[in-house]
Amino acid sequence: MDVPRLRELITGKVFDSYGRRAGVGLHLVSLPGPYGIGDIGDSALSFIEALSDMHIGVWQFLPTGPTAYGDSPYQPLSAFAGNENLIGVEPLVRAGLISEIETETLKGLPVDFVDYPKLIPAKSALLARAVDRFSNKVNDKLKSSYEEFLHLHDEHWLDDYALYRILKTRHGERPWPEWDQPYIHRDPDAISRIRGSSADAIERIKFIQFLFDRQWRKLRKRARENNVCLFADMPIYIALDSADAWAHPEILRIDHDGRLAHVSGVPPDYFSEDGQLWGNPLYDWDYHAANGYQWWIDRLRHAATMADLVRIDHFRGFEAYWSIPVESTSARNGAWEHGPGDALFDAMRDALGHLPIVAEDLGAITPEVDALRHRHEIPGMKVLQFDLCEEDFQPIDIEENCVCYTGTHDNDTTVGWFRGGDTDKRTMEAVEATQANALHWTGGTANTIHTDMIRFAFASKAKFAIAPLQDYLGLGTEARLNIPGTTQGNWRWRLQSNQLTPGLCQSVRAMVHASSRG
């Protein structure tokens, strides 16, 4: 896989090189398939070809890191590792690492939603068999590829991640600040003993990451062959209970034992009248500045090996971030603190050549945040579910150097939004005002609002126009992927193979062509 001196930059110039493109947003877990969860194997490869058939040129997906409680991709156990549950099954069968009959447990899982409590142990057992077969099988080519993978990643992040997962298991999956003291503080003797007693288990974790990397390389190759731009998503914050925080506590505002004084979140906004109390540790920006922002440079460089473009979640946190006392039960009690600003982006550009990023600039955006983004020529976002409801909205407000969305993974589907699926947050009067605005600006009807909104986004000046797949399908609130501020029932919706019909593909192609996108 390319480890670029970021050959493709995300500025107006790079958007020009891509041209006007239409895109789809779909979480990888939502891909169709018979194995309980979408994956990066055959399921993803087929989806890329379907996008190409529809003349869709951008696939935006959510973070791909390993998840824990709540299954949120925005609270990964590592900023660098891949989610083992996304590893494709069919490639393992073809490689002789598992047998077809061993996949039956996964085939017994639901296909219309992800049943995480049943999926995770079943997938883990299957991957363990694959590792055991690799260890007992002579395959010089595969072993050579694995050794190359170790050479590239072991010292950087892989070894720390494997140790962290072993120790987390040994401590009953508790967060690392609750481990035995020698392991909290990475005592060399204690770590050495773990390496000796758990050598096989450590190797198993590393090999599973190799399988993820190997399949992702093929996915990237297929995307390039089909002229589909891969558009990744990066959470600004990392979880306290993560390999990164355990191995490098100095990058965060935590004490020697992993205790926090303040945590992350956002003040009240559209998504939550009380704000959102995320609970992630805050960065020690003084440390990062003194270290030349090397951790962030490494993180962005790694992301550029995974995708062509990267949306950074909560961009406004780089200008100023919401700091909430750890003992607070409400995000209302926070305060703004200064972020790194220009210095971070200057350092990343100097090291990497260019900035392959798009800013998630939603929420409490100030002139200072806009100025930071514009100084570094970083595209922002326009979300029609928000913008069409603004009293002073005009289509000209959607600038060329941005990504225009009908909605995002945090929104209801367009149909659900139009029908008032979130009436617990909006009065019926507000819903009716939304309906009137949407119909006025799109010139559409209540029955076709999903395609009307997509056409409106496609017709905008924005270089990229993206809609969640649920909007292309015209699905309602039942297909919503996430409700911000909640921890249960999210990240479960899945596409069914028969939903991508020839008629849908033809309809999407027509919309793409009519808007001079491709």
Rounded Cα distance between 50 and 30, Å, is: 15
Helix or strand run (H / E) with residue 221: helix 199-225
Counting runs of H as helices and runs of E as strands, what totals does the chain give?
A: 21, 12
Structure token pair of residue 229: 């731009």
Give catalytic residue positions. Answer: 313, 360, 410
- Which backbone phi and psi does 320 adopt, to 5 degrees? -155, 140
In the block, tokens 């696939």 appear at: 59
Task: Report the amino acid identity of residue 124.
Answer: S
Instruction: Please tell me the number of Cα atoms within 13 Å of 25 on its side-chain side.
Output: 25
Nearest Cα residue to 463 out of 8, 4, 18, 1 = 18
Contact 324, 265 (CB under 8 A): yes
Using alpha carbons only, what angle is made at residue 317 by residues 311 and 318, rounded to the nearest 5 degrees?
Answer: 80
Contact 31, 111 (CB under 8 A): no
Query: In angstroms, what CA-CA distances link 250 with 55, 287, 477?
Result: 46, 7, 42
| Per-residue DSSP letter, 158 | I
Got the DSSP string for 376-402? TT--EEEEHHHHTTSTT--GGGS-SSE
Contact 417, 31 (CB under 8 A): no
